[in-house]
Amino acid sequence: MATLDEGHHYLIAPDPAKRGLTRRVTGRDQNGDLSEISVVEEKPLTIFLNSQEIVTAMTIGDYPEYLALGFLRNQGMLSEEDSVTGVDFDAELETVVVRTAKITDHEEKLKKKTRTSGCAVGTVFGDMMEGLSGLKLPQAEVRTSWLYSLSATINRTPSLYLEAGAIHGTVLCQQDRPLVYMEDVGRHNAVDKIAGWMLSERVGAQDKILYTTGRLTSEMVIKTALMGIPVLASRSGFTAWGVEIAREVGLTLIGRMRGQRFICLSGEDRLVRDADPAQIGDESARHGRKGARR
């Protein structure tokens, strides 16, 4: 079980200076002047479950093992009963293989599906939905003072986003402390990397808050629910199905969080309003994170 070092907020924080995550490229700006900017890397990574090829994700390339583990877990392809015997990343082949002691249910299902229709693509989403049936997220408290504090800390944390833009961030938090901050170009890779880290470190979910810069779509809500995290907050907006699923599983869903403003569309009962919004003020254009959809 990972423990929190009180002196440092993050167990894992972005490392914008790390080699291989960004590249300098040169172009010309609106005045025709040469301009050099940082852009994020984006590489294919093919995930295998034992000998079964599952998916090729487009990723920034850090933490491939967490990404593979978390992806398989969040898709319901890897259950708690499956004993993981190894996770092997091959940088040259751009593959990561998750090995289990026994053949998994999912591989059996894929074989059956392949025999009947010739392809398993359509099952992916169905499998995720299946994992939700009957799920009720645990009781928990979330104070609005924590949310404001988390939002302020995360937006000011040095990140690939601040360095190069064009990237999404997801942060696993506990009360007002951000613990693990993952970024990725791929839509849901950041949250999958967090799921992989939680699985590896055997971190409990019931007292956690997930913060994301991305939109609160059905897939984001389903992943958070399958991870067992009772609270999901975002700067961005909602989709109708995301809200519907959150209400079904009792997930606290908070969106459009900017400055003092937010709206809670599900699981309002967990919210403890201990902060005065007027004291928080509005988000200044200068300190706001540009990158989020309303």
Considering the complex, state which of residue 4 and residue 129 has its C-beta at the smaller distance from its own copies: 129
Q: How far is CA 29 from the centre of its chain?
A: 33
* Residue 94 found at the interface with its own copies (CB under 8 A): no
Residue 27 tokens, joined: 């172009």
Subset of 248-277 contacting its own copies (CB under 8 A): 256, 260-266, 268, 271, 273, 277
- At residue 123, the 3 state secondary structure works out as helix
Q: Which stretch binds its own copies (CB under 8 A): 40-48, 71-79, 172-180, 194-202?
A: 40-48
* Residue 292 found at the interface with its own copies (CB under 8 A): yes
Report the nearest approach of its own copies to the CB of residue 288 (Å): 9
- At residue 188, the 3 state secondary structure works out as coil
| Torsion of the alpha carbons at 79, 81, 85 and 86, rounded to the nearest 10 | 20
Report the nearest approach of its own copies to the CB of residue 197 (Å): 23
* Residue 279 found at the interface with its own copies (CB under 8 A): no
Instruction: Choose, by CB under 8 A, the member of 79, 114, 139, 206 that binds its own copies.
Output: 114
* Residue 103 found at the interface with its own copies (CB under 8 A): no
* Residue 131 found at the interface with its own copies (CB under 8 A): no
Give φ, ψ of 279 to 5 degrees.
-70, -25
Report the nearest approach of its own copies to the CB of residue 5 (Å): 31
Which residues, other chains included, contact 170 with Cβ-Cβ below 8 Å and sequence gap of 6+?
181, 182, 183, 190, 191, 193, 194, 210, 211, 212, 213, 214
Q: With CA atoms as reference, report the closest residue to 266 among 283, 251, 287, 288.
A: 251
* Residue 121 found at the interface with its own copies (CB under 8 A): yes
What angle is formed at CA 215 by the lines to CA 205 and CA 270, rounded to 5 degrees?
40
Cβ neighbour number for residue 78 with a 10 Å cutoff:
22
Report the nearest approach of its own copies to the CB of residue 135 (Å): 19
Instruction: Choose, by CB under 8 A, the member of 125, 139, 158, 287 that binds its own copies.
Output: 125
- At residue 178, the 3 state secondary structure works out as strand
- Rounded to 10 deg, the angle between the 218-227 and 189-201 helix axes is 0
Q: How far apart are CA 185 and CA 189, in angstroms?
A: 8
Instruction: Choose, by CB under 8 A, the member of 104, 151, 217, 224 that binds its own copies.
Output: 217
Instruction: Choose, by CB under 8 A, the member of 242, 249, 251, 270 that binds its own copies.
Output: 242
Considering the complex, state which of residue 180 and residue 257 has its C-beta at the smaller distance from its own copies: 257
Interface with its own copies (CB under 8 A), residue total: 76
Q: Which stretch binds its own copies (CB under 8 A): 52-60, 96-104, 149-157, 195-203?
A: 52-60
* Residue 122 found at the interface with its own copies (CB under 8 A): yes
* Residue 290 found at the interface with its own copies (CB under 8 A): yes
Considering the complex, state which of residue 27 and residue 86 has its C-beta at the smaller distance from its own copies: 27
Which residues, other chains included, contact 167 with Cβ-Cβ below 8 Å and sequence gap of 6+?
40, 60, 159, 160, 161, 183, 184, 185, 291
DSSP state of 167: -
